[in-house]
């Protein structure tokens, strides 16, 4: 390596430091940043009821199968966070699909971007593997492909069939609200959040109904109705990122 060149490994180190600095400087600007424009007025959101989540990991397996995620990575982990009266309380954590996403803000090549309906996406062909987005995300929602995923997917076919292409080695990847299912469903006249085939795989796989999906701009959507009836919270709302994943806090049994 000459004095005028930098190795990929060194570049990634510099990128990580730079992303952390950028995040620290800009994190409070997101509340006023320019977010996505909703296509047709749609605003997709997921609601997770912690009282119903049992930590079964069905959602994890359905996500892994339908999005062809490597066994080394998890887009949709479920964490035990508390214990109440002998019962474990869980916190599932998909991508928050932020309205003002730090990962989009720091991406230097436009690989992280908003769809017109607000879903935060990745263009894996543009991605250079700098991992700015991974460091900038305050939710830890991105995972890096350190190696190629060439083998069989152990979640297939029991939990579903792959609906998207595998990502290459050397890029970060993440939950996309199963955009492919939403798009296919809408094209067939189905309603995301109501019709299973048009709804994120994790929602359909949940055996207890802990996950609900829908359009917040539609007051009749399952997500809108649930949020209208129950108090909810979002992770790190203080950062101004505008997460589109809402949680119904755990309630003790009467």
Residue 25: per-residue pLDDT = 39
Tell me, what DSSP letter sits at residue 112?
E
Domain chopping of the chain, boundaries: 8-248
pTM: 0.85
Describe the chain by its helix, strand, coil percentages, rounded to 5. 30, 15, 55
Q: Is 44 helix (H, G, I), strand (E, B) or coil?
A: strand
Cα 198 to Cα 192: distance, rounded to the nearest angstrom: 5
Beta carbons within 8 Å of 116's beta carbon, 6+ residues apart:
36, 37, 38, 39
pLDDT at 40: 56
* Residue-wise pLDDT tens digits, 38-53: 545 899 999 999 999 9
Please give the pLDDT value at position 36. 54
The pLDDT tens digits of the residues spanning 191-202 come to 999 999 999 999
According to the model, what pLDDT value does residue 253 have? 73
Query: Between vectors from CA 54 to CA 53 and to CA 56, what angle results, nearest 5°?
Result: 115
Q: Helix or strand or coil: residue 206?
A: coil
**Residue numbers in the chain where pLDDT is lower than 50:** 1-34, 37, 39
Tell me what pLDDT residue 15 has. 42
Give CATH for domain 8-248.
3.30.70.20
As to burial, measured by CB atoms within 10 angstroms (0-12 exposed, 13-18 middle, 19+ buried), residue 164 is: middle
């Amino acid at each position: 390596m000459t004095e005028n060149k930098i190795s990929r490994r060194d570049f990634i180190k510099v990128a990580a430091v730079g992303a952390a600095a950028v995040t620290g400087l800009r994190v409070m600007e997101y509340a006023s940043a320019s977010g996505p424009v909703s296509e047709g007025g749609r605003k997709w959101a997921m609601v997770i009821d912690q009282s119903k989540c049992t930590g079964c990991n069905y959602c994890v397996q359905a996500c892994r199968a339908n999005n062809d995620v490597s066994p080394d990575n998890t887009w949709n982990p479920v964490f035990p966070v508390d214990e109440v009266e002998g019962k474990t309380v869980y916190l599932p954590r998909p991508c928050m699909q932020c309205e003002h996403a730090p990962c989009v803000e720091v991406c230097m090549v436009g690989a992280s971007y908003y769809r017109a309906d607000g879903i935060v996406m990745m263009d894996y062909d543009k991605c250079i593997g700098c991992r700015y987005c991974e460091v900038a995300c305050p939710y830890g929602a991105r995972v890096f492909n350190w190696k190629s995923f060439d083998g069989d997917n152990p979640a297939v076919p029991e939990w579903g069939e792959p609906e998207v292409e595998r990502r290459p080695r050397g890029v970060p990847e993440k939950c996309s609200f199963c955009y492919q299912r939403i798009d296919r469903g809408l094209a067939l006249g189905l309603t995301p959040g109501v019709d299973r085939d048009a709804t994120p795989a994790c929602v359909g796989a949940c055996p207890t109904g802990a996950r609900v999906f829908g359009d917040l701009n539609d007051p009749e959507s399952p997500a809108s109705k649930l949020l209208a009836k129950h108090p909810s919270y979002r992770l790190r709302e203080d950062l101004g990122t505008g997460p589109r994943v809402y949680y119904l806090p755990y309630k003790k049994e009467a």
